[in-house]
Structure 1
Amino acid sequence: MTVRYFAGARAAVGRSEEVVPAGRSLDDLTADLARRHGDRLAAVLRVASFLVDGVSCHDRATPLPGGATIDVLPPFAGG
């Protein structure tokens, strides 16, 4: 799976995307990302929205499809 980071998530990780193993839920993925990248990303992940292959994901316990693209979208300021 490919995880793409935007705005504050990109700043917390220091890159715009990374490839991660498939076969887990969004909850599992975000826990793993927080462990690997630290508290700064963990804080962003708590308030972020997620797109799975371009579709908003609300059920964080459902297994993610293999080969999916996960977009991490922190809240954006401005208007």
Structure 2
Amino acid sequence: MSSGYGIRGGLGRCYPFFADLKDCLRSEESNEPGACTAFREDYFECLHHKKEYARVRTILAQEKKNVEIAKNGGVDDGGH
């Protein structure tokens, strides 16, 4: 939450990222296009975990592929 309070009181999980974004947007450099992009990406990643989930899907797909390779005696058949 942008209020800074988490669901059980105290500091919210993503508030430090929001505070960094807010500070960047208030600065004079924020008038330049893309000046706060890194802060915005960090904040949205904290909220939605899209990059984390994509990485987990990639790892799981590779593990599945490794199991198939092991079943074929260590030979990668290219997915056929």
TM-score (norm 2): 0.22
Q: Which has the higher contact order (CA 8 A, sep 6+)?
A: 1
The structure in which a higher percent of residues are strand is 1
1 or 2, which has the higher helix percentage?
2
Q: TM-score, normalised by structure 1?
A: 0.22
